[in-house]
Chain A
């Protein structure tokens, strides 16, 4: 069965610290997609990244970076030099390869609440 585990419920850091949010997933499929979403205090869900299971290259976007390791079934998210605006709940999600018909279900982890203090 599909499952996404975000073991860190809450993380608190001081501005400019680096922080890593962990995500471990379970799936029996060989083709799947992983996602990260950000939910700021205003409540909306903001898409951050989509990564397929055949692409293990790390991704960097500004202060954000993602480390995908199939060997450990992990897709961790690092924020470098954190800022107060990074304070949010971050969700990791998994979607298995589409079966005929275009099914596109996301399985979410419980989320990690990040608080960045000045």
Chain B
């Protein structure tokens, strides 16, 4: 089954304790991205990757890191989490945009993070 998986699905942590949220896709997609969802704000892009070893900042990258060492995996790292990073996080993947075409993104199930 084609899917994007994320782990963990729920996480409660304390300020400053480093954490990693994993993301993996089995669709051989080049493009992967992380979003956070907050009430009233919709989803906002944190980081994206157009291929292995190619990553760039989205709209709200502060406090986050990513890496893309393999095509299927795109972990999100919070080196020193703070309470304002409490949110619902989604990983997504899609075919890489080409020419004038962009493609739909497929989302993981989400990770609900609470930082106290």
Contact = CB atoms under 8 A, between A and B. Distances in A.
Size category, A interface: 20 to 34
Contacts of B90: 45
Interface residues of B, number: 34
Interface of A (DSSP majority class): loop
Contact of B105 (A52, A101, A104): A104
B105 A47 contact: yes
A35 B41 CA distance: 17
Interface in A87-118: 91, 93, 95-98, 101-106, 108-111
Interface of B: 30-31, 33, 35, 40-45, 48, 50-51, 58, 88, 90, 92, 94, 96-110, 112
Given A98-B99, A98-B100, 16 more contacts: A33-B102, A35-B104, A43-B109, A44-B107, A47-B106, A91-B43, A95-B102, A96-B102, A98-B98, A102-B30, A104-B33, A104-B50, A104-B97, A104-B103, A106-B45, A108-B35
